[in-house]
Amino acid sequence: MKRNRPIIRVPDAHVIRVPESAYNLISYPTKLYRYCATRNSDIVIPGYSLPAGTACPAAVYGSGSVCEICYAATLIRLRKNVKTSHDHRFRDSVDNSKRWQSAAIVTGMGNDILADYMSGIMIDDYKYNRQLTGKLTGNVSLAVADMINMLQCNGLMAAVGYCYRLIDAMVMALGPQSQCPCCKENMRIRWHVSGDIYSDHYASLLTVVFRVLGSLYPNLKIWLPTRNWHAAAPQRLIDATDKLSFITNVNVVYSGLYVDIIDDAARMPSNTIVISNKNSVPDGYTACHAQMTHSHCGDCRRCYDSDTRVAYIKHR
């Protein structure tokens, strides 16, 4: 007999807003939720999205390509509110990525050292200040602001504030998972439900965000799909994406380019393909549980495994 599983509703139905933020930061993909035995209900898995196509520098179009039939692009065309939120996020991320780039040059640190420096400061800030007060405002703490002012780089303050907004929003969204005894040991996020790593400076900002989230939730896994691996992708984006894969709590999953074709992405430790027939799953791959059962992820966590090989069924 089919059980009736009421979904736990998060604030504002399907979005999370942080104070000082005028647009939706966190969304909840349709099938990304799991059953919680403790609560006898479903808990949603949060995600972060950017505009499909616009934020996909390594997209490949043409007959038979996966990007040509992108379901996220279709959703943006059909739903104006989704497009508005994605566009706002993208503009915000681009603006702050440019500020981060300027700070990396002005301070002489470069992307990697600056990311290491700010990660350490913000991890301590969350551990000793924000965690104690429980206040998630999306603003830069005074102690961190003093450290940034010492670097004499005005744009860095805004870029770090952007990181704080993302982290605070995700902390709010992870509330149901972090407060549940059976879920907090297996917490999950999908980063880039649509969109991709579009610049190396944006990747550095995400390095800070992912490291801080990893320090707050040691059992958190972040699923980051990408197409920044093939010859048409700029080398700087390939390198920046590869660096993210070395963060302990991040699983970078390399996506195939064409339907029913196993390409060079298959050489990566974690990769996915798209097939047109659910009965033609290649050897070594696992069919998407949510698509095969016409429901949701349930207890399946293959997309978050470091050696995942998943076959998604082509959207009709």
pLDDT bin (cut points 50, 70, 90) of residue 10 is very low
* Span 33-71, pLDDT tens digits: 555 555 555 667 888 989 988 999 999 998 888 888 887
Express as a percent the part of the chain with pLDDT over 70: 82
Please give the Cα distance from 276 to 30 (Å, whole number).
21
Radius of gyration from C-alpha coordinates of the chain? 19
Q: Please identify which residue in the block is written with the tokens 């302990």.
A: 248
Contact 211, 243 (CB under 8 A): no
Please give the Cα distance from 25 to 22 (Å, whole number).
9
| C-alpha closest to that of 224 among 153, 313, 112, 304 | 304
What pLDDT is recorded for position 7?
A: 37
What is the pTM assigned to this prediction?
Answer: 0.86
Please give the Cα distance from 217 to 15 (Å, whole number).
21
pLDDT above 60: residue 242: yes
What pLDDT is recorded for position 224?
A: 93
pLDDT bin (cut points 50, 70, 90) of residue 99 is very high
